[in-house]
Amino acid sequence: MVLASTAFDVSSQSNFVAYWGQSSAGSQKSLGEYCGDSSIDVIVMAFLYQFPNTKLDLSANCRSTFPGSELLHCPDVAADIKKCQSQGKAVILSMGGAAGAYGFSSDDDGRKYADTVWDMFLGGSGSQRPFDDAVLDGVDLDIEGGSTAGYAAYVAQLRSHFEASSDKKYYITGAPQCPFPDAMLGSTLNSAWFDMVFVQFYNNFCGLDAYPQGFNYGQWDTWAKSQSANKNVKLYIGAPGSQSAAGRGYVDASTINSIASDIRSKYTSFGGVMTWDASQAFDASSWGQSVSSALKSGGSKKRALEPLQGKFISTRSANVTAGAMQVKLELVEGSDVYISDTENTFGFHVRIQSADQPIRQGWELHIPLPVGVSVAQASAQAHNIRVHDNTLVVVDGSSINENMAVAFRVAGQHIGNEFGLPDPAKIMLYTTA
C-alpha cells in the first residue's frame, strides 16, 4: 500500500487504521465524518476491485461516473479526502479485496498499471481522476485471489514515481492473511519494499481467537527482521471491528488491548491495529475508540521519565519524594486482594497517595513481579497496563490528586497460593518530565 501525510508517523507503535467504503455493517458515515474522529490515523478506502480495467466500488458513497464510462467520479469523496488530510490523517486506496476481477499476467502489466494508478489517484496528471485533484496517500494491496504475477514489478514502478516526486512522501503496504507465508502476497512481500503490513488475524486458525498459543505474530516478526526488503517494516494486528465483521477472530476491546500491549512490549516491529471496518468498529459499542485510546495511552514515542527518588521503607508501604513532592505507595490487603489456584489468578491494589501536592499529568507505575511467575494477562480498570520483563507497567495520562487506588488482576502460569504480594519497596513511580 502507499501512504503520505505530513502528520502521519510511520514509525509509531500506536497507529489505528480503519477500512472504509464497503459498509459491512449495513450503513456507514461519510469519509469526512469518520475523519472527524481523532481515534483514526489512517483510512483505507475499499475497493479498487477490478484492474487493470479499472473499476471502483465505494458502496453507496459514490454512484456517478464520467460521461460514457463506468469509471466512478466522486467529487464529494474528493472533498472529504482533503478534509481528512488537513487533519493529519493518511487516506489510501485498497486494491483487490475478497471479491473482484483483478490481477496481472506479467511484470510488464504490473509496471504499466503502476503508471495508471500514479496518474489516476496519486501524484500524476491523468485526464480522468475519480477524486479530481485530491492526491491520495496510498494504495493498499489486499490481494486475495487471481494470479501472483506482476505485483513486485508494480511496487517497484510505483517507487520509481515516488522517488522522482519531492512534494510528498509515499509508503507501500500490504494486507496479507495471517497464515505464513501468505498464498497471494508472499513472494511480493519478500522481494518488494513495504513500509507497513496489515496482517489479517481473523478468519483463520492463526487469528486473535487463537491467542496466545496459535497466534502467529512471532512468525511475521521473524519475516520482518530477516526476510523483508525493509527490515524496519511495521506490522499491524488486523482485527474485526465487531462480531459480525468476520467469520471468526473477533475479540472484545479489552482482550485486543491486552494482546496489543503484550505484542508491543515484545516486538519492535509492532505498528498498531488495523480494523475491518469503520462501520463495524465505530458503532454504538465504541470498539474502535477504545482500542485506539489504549494504543495511544501506551504511546510509541519514548517519554522522558523522572524517577521519584527517596528512601524506601521495606514494609507494606514505601515513601518516595521528589523535591517538595511526597508520595506514598501502599499495597492494600483485605477484600481487594485475592489468590485463586483454581482460576490461576491473583489480584491486589496499589494505593498512591500524594501527601502535599498533586502529581502532574502523566505517570507510569512499574511493579516487579516475583521471580518465576509467568504472566499471560493483566488488567487494571481504567488504566493501560502491560507486562514487560516480568514487570507490570501501568500508564496513565491523568493526575494523582490525593489518594488513588489502582486495582490489578493478573492471570498466568505459576500463580497460586504460593504467590506473595510484590514488595512495595521495589515499586517505582515515574512522572513525565
Tell how strand 196-200 and strand 173-174 pair up: parallel
DSSP 415-427: -STT-PPPPGGG-
Measure the CA–CA gap between 160 and 340, rounded to whole angstroms. 60
User: Where does 149-198 have alpha helices with state H?
Assistant: 151-164, 186-191
Cell of 115: 503508471
Angle between helices 151-164 and 107-121 (to 10 degrees): 40
CA distances from 32 to 20, 77, 87 (A): 11, 8, 10
**Does the annotation count 70 as an active-site position?**
no
> What do you get for the CA distance between the two ends of the chain, in Å?
37
What type of residue is 392?
A: L
Cell of 341: 489456584
Peptide bond into 422 cis (omega under 30): no
Given the residues 144, 333, 364, 402, the one annotated as active site: 144
**H-helix or E-strand spanning residue 432:** strand 428-432
DSSP annotation of 51: E
Catalytic residues: 144
